Structure 1
Amino acid sequence: MKTTLTSFLLLFLLLAGCSSPVAVQQKPGVDFSQYHTYDWAKTDVKSADSQNPIYQSSLNDEQIQDAINGELAKRGIRMVQGTAKPDFYLTYHLYIEEAERTVANPPAAGFAYPYAFSYRGRLLPINYGYWYSTPYYNTGYRTETYQEGTMILDMVDARSHNLVWRGSMADAVNNPARLGDEFAKSAKDILDKFPVEKQ
Structure 2
Amino acid sequence: MSVFLPRAAVAAVALSVLALAGCETPAGKVDILQSSSTSVVAGSTYAWAPVTSATQRSADPRIANDIINQRIQSAVDSALAAKGYRRVSSPSQATLLVSYYVGLEARSEIQSNNMGPPPVAACGFRGCVGGWGFYGAPMLDVETINYTQGTMIVDLVDRASGQLAWRATSNRRVDSSDADQAALNAVAADMVKTLPGGAQ
TM-score band, normalised by shorter chain: 0.5 to 0.7
TM-score when scaled to structure 2? 0.68
CA–CA distance in 2 between the matches of 1:25 and 1:39? Answer: 20
In the alignment, is residue 116 of structure 1 matched against residue 131 of structure 2? no
Q: Once the two structures are superposed, what CA deviation does each residue of 1:164-197 show, in whole Å capped at 9, x if it has no partner? A: 111001111222x642444443222111122334
1:68 lines up with 2:76 in the alignment: yes
Unaligned runs of 5+ in 1: 1-9
Displacement after TM superposition at 1:79 (Å) = 0.6
Q: Which runs of 5+ in 2 are unaligned?
A: 1-15
Other structure's SS at 2:195 match: coil
Shift of 1:104: 3.2
- Secondary structure of the structure 2 residue equivalent to 1:72: helix
Q: Write the deviation string for residues 25-57 of structure 1: whole angstroms up to 9, x where unpaired.
A: 0001434226611011223053xxx422x3333
Query: In the alignment, which residue of structure 2 is the partner of 1:80?
Result: 88
Q: Structure 1 stretches (4+) deviating beyond 6 angstroms?
A: 110-113
**Secondary structure at the residue paired with 2:38?**
coil
Residue 165 of structure 2 corresponds to 164
Matched length? 172
Q: Distance in 1 between matches of 2:184 and 2:105?
A: 14
Q: Secondary structure at the match of 1:97?
A: strand
Query: How far apart are residue 89 of structure 1 and its match?
Result: 0.3
Distance 1:193 1:139 in 2: 43
- Counterpart pick for 1:32 among 34, 40, 43: 40
* Percent pairwise identity: 22
Aligned position for 2:56: 44
Name which one, 1 or 2, has greater alpha-carbon Rg: 1
**Distance of 2:140 and 2:185 partners within structure 1:** 37
Distance in 2, matches of 1:34 and 1:140, equals: 52
Asked if structure 2 preserves the Cα contact closer than 8 Å seen for 1:151 and 1:186, the reply is: no
Report the 3-state secondary structure (helix = DSSP H, G, I; strand = E; otherwise coil) of the residue aligned with 2:197: coil
CA distance, structure 2, for counterparts of residue 33 and residue 178 of structure 1: 31
Provide the TM-score with structure 1 as the length reference.
Answer: 0.68
Work out the CA distance in 2 between the residues paired with 1:138 and 1:23.
39
Shift of 1:113: 6.2
SS of 1:33's equivalent in the other structure is: coil
Could you tell me how far apart the structure 1 residues matched to 2:65 and 2:165 are? Answer: 28
CA distance in 1, matches of 2:32, 2:90: 31
